[in-house]
């Protein structure tokens, strides 16, 4: 398996533009998580899915953020409109089991909003 | 309150020495996990210890868990320059389902 695949690796966009981040989890993993990492706030859980269903989106900062998982092999995180304070590294992770075999993280998308 | 606080924030040692990092948490947990993050990369799962376990080993890694003190430690023995990275503890709380809460991490630098 190629692991969790995120795209793009880097994204630079202007304030006000729509940004879409993509994630392909490991095949067979039931859980998918979106995290955001910044120097100031560390790693924050934004939302997670179980069997493609959003379970907890309480970490999504604002209505400008939305996430979907249309099938077991694909998820998107969308920011519309983007703002400079959204600049961060966004990680997707997947996990096979609720009891906890650990998460497998993607390499992240470094988002810069100018 | 913050779950998963690592101590120290930064640690610098010489190659061959042991490195110990600590993690404290506040609520009851199902398990505690340690991850490593190299600069510019994603996190990599190192080891998981369940709440009914006290110690676990994996290669040069040794993890302890003291649920009465709500603390854990990660020991890396015979460190190598390649161990230079940030190390995070993460807790799966009893009440949080399967989601993990990460601490702020310890930056470990191993000097050759």
- Tell me the per-residue pLDDT of A59-105, one tens digit each, with 9 for 90 and over: 998 899 999 999 999 999 999 999 999 999 999 999 986 565 789 99
Query: Would you call A33 an interface residue with chain B, using a CB distance cutoff of 8 Å?
Result: yes
Q: Compute the radius of gyration of chain A from its Cα atoms.
A: 13
Asked if residue A30 has pLDDT above 50, the reply is yes
Q: What is the DSSP letter of A85?
A: G
Kindly indicate the confidence band of residue B1, based on its pLDDT and cuts at 50, 70 and 90.
very low
In chain A, the percentage of residues whose pLDDT exceeds 70 is: 96
Q: What is the pLDDT of residues B26-83, one digit of tens each?
A: 989 999 999 999 998 999 999 999 999 999 999 999 999 999 999 999 999 999 999 9
Mutation site for A-interface testing, chosen from B99, B101, B102 by largest number of A Cβ within 10 Å:
B99
**Could you tell me which residue, B105 or B3, shows the higher pLDDT?**
B105
Closest CA to A44 of B34, B46, B102: B102
Token pair for residue A70? Answer: 């249309």
Residues in A closer than 8 angstroms to B102, CB to CB, are 35, 42-43
Using an 8 Å Cβ cutoff, are B29 and B91 in contact?
Answer: yes
Neighbour tally for B20: CB within 10 Å: 16
Token pair for residue A3? Answer: 């692991």
Closest residue of chain B to A39, computed from CA coordinates: B104
Task: Write down the pLDDT at residue B6.
Answer: 79
CB–CB contact A100 B92 (8 Å) = yes
Using an 8 Å Cβ cutoff, are B94 and B107 in contact?
Answer: no
Mean pLDDT of A103-113: 96
Mean pLDDT of B105-111: 95
Task: Write down the pLDDT at residue A62.
Answer: 87
Of A42, A91, A98, which has the smallest distance from its Cβ to B42's Cβ?
A: A91
In chain A, the percentage of residues whose pLDDT exceeds 90 is: 85
- How far from each other are the two terminal CA atoms of chain A, in whole angstroms? 36
Task: Write down the pLDDT at residue B2.
Answer: 36
Kindly indicate the confidence band of residue B97, based on its pLDDT and cuts at 50, 70 and 90.
low
Chain B residues whose C-beta is within 8 A of a chain A C-beta are 30-31, 33, 35, 41-45, 48, 50, 88, 92, 97-105
How far apart are the C-alpha atoms of B21 and B107, rounded to whole Å? 10
Task: Write down the pLDDT at residue B94.
Answer: 78
Using an 8 Å Cβ cutoff, are A100 and B48 in contact?
Answer: yes
Task: Write down the pLDDT at residue A3.
Answer: 93
How far apart are the C-alpha atoms of A8 and A83, rounded to whole Å? 18
């Amino acid at each position: 398996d190629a692991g969790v695949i995120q795209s793009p690796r880097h994204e630079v966009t202007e304030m006000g533009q729509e940004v879409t981040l993509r994630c392909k989890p490991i095949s067979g993993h039931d859980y998918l998580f979106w995290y955001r990492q910044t120097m100031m706030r560390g790693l924050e859980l934004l939302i997670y899915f179980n069997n493609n269903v959003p379970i907890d989106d309480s970490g999504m900062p604002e209505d400008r953020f939305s996430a979907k998982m249309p099938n077991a092999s694909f998820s998107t995180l969308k920011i519309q409109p983007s703002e400079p304070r959204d600049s961060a590294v966004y990680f997707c992770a997947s996990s096979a089991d609720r009891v906890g075999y650990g998460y497998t993280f993607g390499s992240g998308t470094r988002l810069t909003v100018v | 309150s913050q779950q998963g606080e690592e101590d120290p924030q930064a640690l610098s040692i010489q190659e061959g020495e042991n490195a110990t990092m600590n993690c404290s948490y506040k609520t009851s947990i199902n398990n505690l996990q340690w991850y490593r993050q190299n600069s510019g990369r994603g996190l990599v799962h190192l080891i998981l210890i369940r709440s009914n376990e006290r110690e676990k080993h994996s290669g040069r890694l040794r993890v302890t868990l003291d649920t009465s003190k709500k603390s854990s430690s990660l020991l890396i023995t015979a460190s190598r320059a390649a161990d230079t990275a940030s190390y995070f503890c993460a807790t799966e709380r009893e009440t949080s389902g399967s989601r993990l809460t990460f601490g702020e991490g310890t930056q470990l630098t191993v000097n050759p």
